[in-house]
A and B are shown apart, each in its own frame.
Chain A
C-alpha cells in the first residue's frame, strides 16, 4: 500500500502531509519555548532590584554562534534549492556544510558551559567574596587557586557591564572558605534559565543534525527512486532547522545583551 500525499498536495489542506505535520509539531515547539520565555520574563521582573545578572556571558562566543547558525540556515535553504533543480552534488555539499556548522555551534556551546562550570563564587569567613575561574582545586592541598578578584559587596558580582574587572591569581586557604559554588544552573535563577533554554535549544540542534545527517547519509537512497519525495523531506528538515535558528535569534539578545 502506498502512503498518500507524500508528494502531491492534499486537496483539503493544499499541502503534502509531511508539511502539515511539521507545522503542527512546530506549533507545539512554540508553546514549549514560549513557556520558558514566559518563565524568564516573570523571574526577571520579580527579581530583587540589582540582583539580576548582567554581562555574565561571553559575548564573542555568543556572536560567533549567531553567525554560525545564520550561515547554517542559508546552507539548509541552498540544499533544498539544489534538490529542486536536481543538482544532487550541490545538495550533498550544502548539507555537509550545515552539519559542520551544527557541530561548530555545539562545540562553542560546550566551551561556554565549561567556562561557567569552572567559574566560582567563594564566600569567605570574613564576609568578603572571591570570584573567578578555578585554576587549582586539589583535595590533597589545604588551599585553592583561582584567577579572579576579591570584593566586599556581593552586588559587585551581579552587574559586570560597567566594571573593569582586573583578575589575578589568588591563593585561598580552605580554612578561610565559608562556602563556594560554581556558576552552574544551581547558582541562581538566571543561570538556571540560561542552562535550561540553551540546553533545550542545543538538544534541538543535536536532533536536527541527526535528521540532516540521515538525509545526507543513508537516507539519500530515496533520491534515486523518488527525488520529489526526497526533496520534500529536505524541505521539512529545513523548516525545523529554521525554527531552531529563529529561537536562537530570540535567545541571543535575551541572554547575552540584556
Chain B
C-alpha cells in the first residue's frame, strides 16, 4: 500500500472523527466545538476530493 492509499484511509478516518466530534460537541452543549467539527468535516471532504484529483495518476500500491 502506497502513501497515497494510506493517506486516503487517514482522510476517511479524519472525516469520521470530525463528524463524531461535531455530534458529541452538540450533544454536550459545546456549540463552538460543534461548529468547528462541522467546518472540519466540510474542509476535510473538500481536501479529500482535491487530493484524489491531484494524485489521479499515482499508484495505490
Contact = CB atoms under 8 A, between A and B. Distances in A.
A binds B: yes
Interface in B1-35: 1-4, 6-7, 9-10, 13-14, 17, 20-21, 24, 28, 30, 33
A246 B17 contact: no
Contacts of B4: 77
Interface string A165-198: 0000000000000000000000000000000000
Contact of B7 (A59, A73, A257): A73
A23 interface: yes
| B interface bracket (residues with beta carbon within 8 Å of A) | 20 to 34
A175 to B, nearest CB: 41
A18 to B, nearest CB: 12
Given A14-B61, A74-B47, A252-B17, A242 B3 contact: yes
A66 B36 CA distance: 12
Contacts of B45: none
B3 A253 contact: no
A161 B28 contact: yes
Contacts, number: 54
Interface string A65-84: 01100100110110011001
Contacts of A144: none
A73 B4 CA distance: 11
B55 interface: yes
A15 B14 contact: no
Interface string B38-50: 0010001001000
Specify the main secondary structure of chain A where it touches its partner: helix
B44 to A, nearest CB: 8
Contact of A242 (B7, B36, B47, B61): B7
B42 to A, nearest CB: 14
Contacts of B14: 70, 249
A235 B54 CA distance: 17
Contacts of B36: 63
A106 interface: no
Contacts of B54: 81
Interface of A: 14-15, 19, 23, 59, 63, 66-67, 70, 73-74, 76-77, 80-81, 84, 161, 235, 238-239, 242-243, 245-246, 249, 252-253, 257
26 contacts: A14-B61, A19-B2, A23-B1, A59-B30, A59-B33, A63-B21, A63-B33, A63-B36, A67-B40, A70-B14, A70-B44, A73-B10, A76-B3, A77-B51, A80-B3, A81-B54, A235-B3, A238-B6, A239-B3, A242-B7, A246-B9, A249-B13, A249-B14, A249-B17, A253-B21, A257-B24
